[in-house]
Structure 1
């Protein structure tokens, strides 16, 4: 598999080739995702919930994101690695946005960053791209705005809200975004937005009309049971397998069947005769 870049993402849309993305937050998972041929890895601020145990993404810091991005980029040889800009890391000014995006690239090794929000952040997107850092946009259910939305709710369900999302997509494309995540919007609207922009759309809970899809890997493997989004398909029940393995290990330790002789080391006969 060739190295994925923002250029290969654009080419995929032009060719009608669907893009597959997953989240990852550590080296070993990123390596497995990469070896599976997944085109893009998002180091999402969802790590606040899946890795750090927060109720939402809001407490995640820039230091958290740099730390996890650095681990992921060590494991991803072919996938395009995109790092989330966490809450309040780009909201104050374009200068703040460029500085923090630069950290994710310079310290974390990311190839691109992701920003939540529409036309109101066009200046920040433009400033970051002017610094030669690619930006992925994110519209619809933007988790950093859950307090404003009143929870995790489907967006764009009225004519006015739908038009605003289309306008936002065009605005952030014009500002320089190379791709746009569409989260939890009606599938018909996602298809309209996908046709309205020339950059690839990556859907999550937004139907098959997008140019690609992304899921949180713990969700699609059945490893995160705190919530069960309707849009998630579980491709394996790894969580159950892990719990069974952990319990089997405990039993083996307690009944003495582990470690067995084949799991231990020996020295030549007589080595310890004088040891007391």
Structure 2
């Protein structure tokens, strides 16, 4: 029996080739079922360290470990075969230099089969990016609002409000681009700054809260789906999954309490006719 033909994954060179062309569609994914749903619609799936806040109830991404990222990345790889999969290197796993960054990145690639890693810009990180790229590890950069730096910045704040801050963001963009990053996430900056960054770098820019002037866009999928009561200003809600879940669970609880669930249709009356059981708990 011949195996069904697999869809070829989008590659790093293909993402690079989209600079200034067709917009790049990116979303976050942390689980196999969500990856399956997003895969054909996205060019890039990011297993972001936002998983700590979205799925694990953490107040920031600081508490996310490399092991957590690997576990979720493995799940996303099992659920996708089309989109390029990028995995965040979490806080404290790459900042000490190129050797630490290489150990972390190579471990992620070996254990998950993903195509690339993402790092946030900081002092000395560009040198590590160049080191990784020269050794065959594609890297996506992240500039502007950097979630892993929230303790230094005093929270999640938009960047580029002052001349000094604007110059710092531009410097980060140039450094990541010169180091060989194949794409750069630009978060939380004004449209004119996002436009300037997009115009000066060779790599495609992926905006999040950076207007539509970037080469592509990314959102946290759970925000897009309306899983939380509050969402950032830059998010457009495309569904109210939170409301649908609340409604479904309310109906279920009412049916259990009234005794109407399970009914005849959900009960095995004649076990001789039941070929198999699928149990999930």
Question: In 2, Cα distance between the equivalents of 1:178 and 1:118?
Answer: 17
Partner of 1:195: 199
- For normalisation by structure 2, the TM-score amounts to 0.91
Question: In 1, Cα distance between the equivalents of 2:243 and 2:95?
Answer: 40
Q: Tell me whether 1:49 sits opposite 2:53 in the alignment.
A: yes
Once the two structures are overlaid, the 10-residue window that deviates more, 81-90 or 216-225, is: 216-225
Q: Tell me whether 1:97 sits opposite 2:101 in the alignment.
A: yes
Q: Which runs of 5+ in 2 are unaligned?
A: 1-6, 273-281
Alignment of 1:21-170 (within 5 A): 21-35=26-40, 37-118=41-122, 120-170=124-174
Partner of 1:9: 15
Question: In 2, Cα distance between the equivalents of 1:191 and 1:131?
Answer: 31
- For normalisation by structure 1, the TM-score amounts to 0.93
Q: Helix, strand or coil: the match of 1:136?
A: strand
Residues 119, 168 of structure 1: 8 Å contact kept: no
Report the alpha carbon displacement of residue 260 of structure 1 after superposing the two structures with TM.
1.7
Q: Helix, strand or coil: the match of 2:18?
A: helix
Q: Which runs of 5+ in 1 are unaligned?
A: 270-276
Cα 1:268–1:68 shift into 2, 3 Å: closer
Residues 173, 197 of structure 2: 8 Å contact kept: yes
Alignment of 1:162-241 (within 5 A): 162-225=166-229, 227-241=230-244
Q: Spell out, residue by residue over 1:99-141, the C-alpha distance to the aligned partner (whole angstroms, 9 max, x if none).
A: 1001111112211000001563111101111221100000000
How many pairs align? Answer: 266
Q: RMSD in angstroms over aligned alpha carbons? A: 1.5
Q: Helix, strand or coil: the match of 2:184?
A: strand
